Amino acid sequence: MNKFISIVKSSVFKRLIIVLLLLILFIFISAISYVSAVSNNIANGVFRLHVIANSDSPEDQNLKYIVRDELIKYMNTLAKDCTSKQEVIEIAQNNISNFENIAKKTIQDNGFNYNVTVEIGNFDFPTKTYGDITLPAGTYDSLKIKIGKSEGQNWWCVMFPPLCFVDVTTGIVPEESKKEMKEAMPEEEYSLISNTNNSEVNFKFKLIEFFENIKLMAKKL
């Protein structure tokens, strides 16, 4: 009798383990689907600027910021009246040679002789905070500027909606920029990126970054 009870208990325990594993698998698959949807929806409304310095030397890092300022200044004159991401991308594509020339001239004017590579594409980014707005890790359309060997720390911002002029020292994003970003993406996604003091939101962003890192590792295999 005791042996029979032991067998029954063992069978029930095994079934519970199987059910638990299936539940974990279901949660894992659901999480992947959620992460993919959120990351894609946010990325679909955003166009970023990415500047990579020649090296991590103080001189090269300072040069990166000078080049950045000139590029942002130029892009702002071109795209100040744009109301969509696609408009900004088209303007950037039509002016790639101008971006390259501005970067080269700025570099030369500051006493350096580095080559510059300018490209527009879909690139991977980590989680990044702009004032009180946080964008999760993911693949974003971006204007990428590579200076010299492009082995230094990089800098990035959002060209659309325009967050490149955010004063990170005050941690405040202009209301107009928030309004444009809100109009550029679904309400749920905007609520996530603008509510990053919430522990649940922070967990979701960590989850997104975790799966994005897995995707990056898979690409390298």
35-68 per-position pLDDT tens digit: 666 667 778 888 988 999 999 999 999 999 999 8
Q: How confident is the model at residue 83 (pLDDT cuts 50, 70, 90)?
A: confident
3-state SS, residue 136: coil
- In whole angstroms, give the CA distance from residue 88 to residue 75: 9
pTM, entire model: 0.71
Is residue 73 predicted with pLDDT exceeding 70?
Answer: yes
- Conformation bin of residue 16: beta by default, left when phi > 0, alpha when psi is -120 to 50: alpha
Strands 47-52, 138-147: pairing kind: parallel
Q: Where are the domains of the chain?
A: 40-220
Measured CA distances, 175 to 17, 131, 159, 172, 179 (Å): 51, 12, 16, 9, 6
Tokens of 157: 């911002």
- In whole angstroms, give the CA distance from residue 41 to residue 186: 7
What is the average pLDDT across 65-72? Answer: 90
Is residue 175 predicted with pLDDT exceeding 50?
Answer: yes
How much is the pLDDT for 221? Answer: 61
Q: Greatest CA separation found in the chain? A: 92
Q: How confident is the model at residue 168 (pLDDT cuts 50, 70, 90)?
A: very low
What is the average pLDDT across 186-205? Answer: 65
131-166 per-position pLDDT tens digit: 667 778 788 999 999 999 999 988 888 888 777 655
Residue with more model confidence, 113 or 126:
113
Q: How confident is the model at residue 169 (pLDDT cuts 50, 70, 90)?
A: very low
Distance between alpha carbon 19 and the CA centroid of its chain, in Å?
37
Tokens of 115: 């080559």
Report cis status (omega within 30 of 0) of the bond before 174. Answer: no
End-to-end CA distance of the chain: 55
